[in-house]
Amino acid sequence: MAIKIKIKKGDTVRVTAGSHKGKEGNILNVFHETNRAIVEGVNLVKKHNKPNAQNPQGGINEKEASIHISNLSLLTSEGKITRVGYRMDDDNKVRFSKKTDEAI
C-alpha cells in the first residue's frame, strides 16, 4: 500500500532508526511504489562485480542501498528534524516545516 511521501529528491534528511541512526545526507532517489529512498552516504553495501568489457579487472564496489522512508526525518535549515505540512501560498501548494513554519 502506497502512503503519502512528503520527502523529495534533494531534501536533507536524518536517519531516525536502524543501524545508521543519526546519519544525515541528501536524498538521491525516491521509490514511491515501495516507500523507500536512497540517501547519500547511508546504508552502504558492497557489490561484487565480475570482470567484463567495461571493467576488465572486476572487483568490489560500495554503493548506497535504499532505506524505508519511515526511518527518515526531514531537516530544517538549522539542522533540526521536523514534520512536513502543506499549505496554499498565492495559488501555489508549498511544503512547510511544522517546527519553524518556514517554506521548504
Domains and CATH numbers, the chain: 12-77 (2.30.30.30)
So what's the pLDDT on residue 81? 94
Q: Please report, to the nearest 10 degrees, the dihedral formed by the alpha carbons of residues 27, 98, 5, 20 taken in order.
A: 40
Confidence of residue 13 (pLDDT cuts 50, 70, 90): very high
Q: Is the pLDDT of residue 2 over 80?
A: no
How much is the pLDDT for 96? 94
Strand ranges in 1-104 using DSSP code E only, listed in sequence order: 12-15, 24-31, 36-39, 44-49, 59-64, 66-68, 72-75, 81-82, 84-89, 92-97
**Distance in angstroms (rounded) separating the CA atoms of residues 34 and 3:** 9
Check: CB of residue 26 under 8 Å from CB of residue 12. Answer: yes
Average pLDDT, the chain: 93
pLDDT in tens, 62-96: 999 999 999 999 999 999 999 999 999 999 999 99
Q: What would the grid cell of residue 29 be? A: 532517489
